[in-house]
């Protein structure tokens, strides 16, 4: 029988009994319909996970007893930072979800010239919380024990100026491929555009900050496909897919 796996944001210690927050407790009680003394696994994104036993499941409280630490590590040896131009609706959600599954360590949503979505400050926070929830659920599903970091929404010129190590931006008109490059420090930064790609000025700005244009094959990919393809290629070349 598959043991349910859930993220919690607080410290976890063997022998401790913890009360789950309302959302997690509701999911466990009303969606999964679990009851004591069933086992579940909790992780807090700091490495490893904990085998726990359901202690109390009621309308007012869901508590679990932490019984064993499991030193699992499924992180890739390749550290990946991803800057991704914000696209509409499900495309962005899909990209965030698959990036987590494919091992991204740090993800920053970028406002670019061809970004069709405009954000007020309140809307920015709502979208960031929405993407954070996608990251949490993707980490739960994929078995990751360290939680990827979601950066604040940034502009492309600001973000590219803060990046280091091997820096790559996805460009269907480039001549190089990822296989012709090699990260020197086990770290790579990927820059992917929104629908419509990068403007000529954005390509110039990325190049001025050391980003190398690369193509993902001979075909033009949708934004969400390009992200998936680039991360898969990077993990195959330098990460844990080989």
Torsion angle, CA of 84/147/152/159, rounded to 10 degrees? -50
**pTM for the model:** 0.90
* Alpha-carbon span 80 to 224, nearest angstrom: 17
Confidence bin at 193 (pLDDT 50/70/90)? confident
- What are the residue ranges spanned by the domains of the chain? 5-70, 79-238
Q: Domain 5-70 is classified in which CATH homologous superfamily?
A: Hypothetical PUA domain-like; domain 1 (2.40.240.20)
pLDDT of res. 153: 93
Work out whether strand 106-111 and strand 79-85 pair parallel, antiparallel, or are unpaired.
parallel
* Alpha-carbon span 55 to 16, nearest angstrom: 11
- Is there a contact between 108 and 125 (Cβ–Cβ < 8 Å)? no
3-state SS assignment for residue 139: helix
Q: At 168, which helix (H) or strand (E)?
A: strand 166-170
Rounded to a whole number of angstroms, the distance between the first and last alpha carbons of the chain is 31
* Alpha-carbon span 214 to 238, nearest angstrom: 16
Please state the rounded mean pLDDT for residues 195-217.
90
pLDDT of res. 1: 56
What pLDDT digit, counting tens, does each position of 21-65 carry? 888 888 888 888 888 899 999 999 999 999 999 998 888 888 999
- pLDDT reading at 2 higher than 80: no
Assign a CATH topology to domain 79-238. Answer: Alpha/beta knot (3.40.1280)
Q: Which of 5-14, 21-30, 67-76 has the lowest mean pLDDT?
A: 21-30
């Amino acid at each position: 029988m598959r043991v349910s796996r859930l993220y919690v944001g607080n410290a976890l210690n063997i022998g401790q009994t913890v009360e789950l927050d309302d959302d997690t407790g509701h999911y466990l009680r009303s969606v999964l319909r679990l009851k004591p003394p069933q086992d579940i696994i909790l992780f807090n994104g700091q490495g490893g996970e904990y085998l726990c036993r359901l202690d109390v499941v009621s309308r007012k409280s869901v508590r679990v007893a932490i019984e064993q630490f499991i030193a699992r590590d499924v992180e890739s040896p390749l550290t990946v930072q991803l800057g991704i131009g914000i696209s509409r609706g499900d495309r962005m959600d899909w990209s965030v979800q698959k990036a987590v599954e494919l091992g991204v360590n740090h993800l920053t949503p970028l406002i670019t010239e061809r970004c069709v979505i405009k954000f007020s400050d309140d809307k920015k926070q709502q979208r960031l919380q929405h993407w954070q929830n996608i990251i949490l659920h993707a980490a739960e599903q994929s078995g990751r024990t360290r939680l990827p970091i979601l950066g604040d929404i940034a502009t492309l010129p600001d973000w590219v100026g803060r990046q280091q190590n091997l820096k790559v931006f996805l460009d269907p008109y480039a001549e190089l491929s990822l296989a012709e490059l090699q990260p020197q420090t086990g770290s790579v930064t990927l820059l992917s555009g929104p629908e419509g790609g990068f403007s000529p000025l954005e390509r110039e700005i990325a190049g001025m900050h050391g980003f190398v244009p690369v193509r993902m094959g001979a075909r033009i990919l949708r934004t969400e496909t390009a992200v998936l393809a680039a991360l898969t290629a990077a993990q195959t070349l330098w990460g844990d897919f080989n």
